[in-house]
Amino acid sequence: MHHIVASALLVFIVSVHLSSAQILNVEKGRLKADSTKYILGVFGLSFNANNQSLTDDGTGKSFIGLTSNADVGYFSTQHSFLLIGELQYNATSEEDINSTGYGHFRVNWLRTKIVSYETFAQIQYDQGRGMSSRRLVGGGLRFRIYREEKSSLFAGIGAMYETEDWESPGENSQAVGIELWNSTTYVTSRFQLRENIAIGSIVYFQTAMTLMRSSFAIASA
């Protein structure tokens, strides 16, 4: 049980220091082009536990789930700085089930211009899928196609470089390292129906080219 308590503490610490989660109003914040020096932020930490579940042989088993998230954005006179991410942990009293997390940092340079610039970086892992780590950096152009008080349309195009480390299950598991160059294109729109009701969408299209793939065996104890 001590590993569950330690993991719960770790999730809380990471949520405070990394402000992990997913921004819900990024595009809404970007639309305030005439406003300066303001911050958007949403933080969350949820916990659930179940001590009533039984296994097939009738013995008790407890479950625990933790989710930490936050949306943070700072908008200066010329630029915007966004931090998004999430951290999830699920386990039973006997073993870890899954742990996933990511953090994404993005800067929109000269955000009030018709053509602006973006740079971004991300770290990620997903224990359940066998992804031990994923790291990427990239940048591109952001185009303001249309923007009025109640509606907007933006598009972006760019490229990013990423590395991934994967592990396959099994007694003699295989670890694979991948390096990729990705193109990334997106279109984002928003329409304000009423003061507190808006419809928004973001559509991404990405293509990848594998640069290098390396693998090695991991002997189990």
Predicted local confidence at residue 195, as pLDDT? 78
Predicted local confidence at residue 103, as pLDDT? 92
Predicted local confidence at residue 170, as pLDDT? 60
Cβ-contact 148, 159 below 8 angstroms: no
Predicted local confidence at residue 18, as pLDDT? 34
Predicted local confidence at residue 191, as pLDDT? 87
Cβ-contact 162, 135 below 8 angstroms: yes
Predicted local confidence at residue 41, as pLDDT? 82
Could you report how far apart the first and last alpha carbons of the chain are, in Å? 23
pLDDT in tens, the chain (221 residues): 444 444 443 333 333 333 333 334 445 555 554 556 788 888 888 988 877 655 566 666 788 899 998 888 898 889 999 998 899 998 877 777 789 999 999 999 999 899 999 999 999 999 888 898 999 999 999 999 998 888 889 999 999 999 999 887 665 667 788 888 999 999 998 888 887 888 888 888 888 876 655 544 444 43
Segments making up each domain of the chain, as ranges: 2-219
Q: Model pTM? A: 0.73
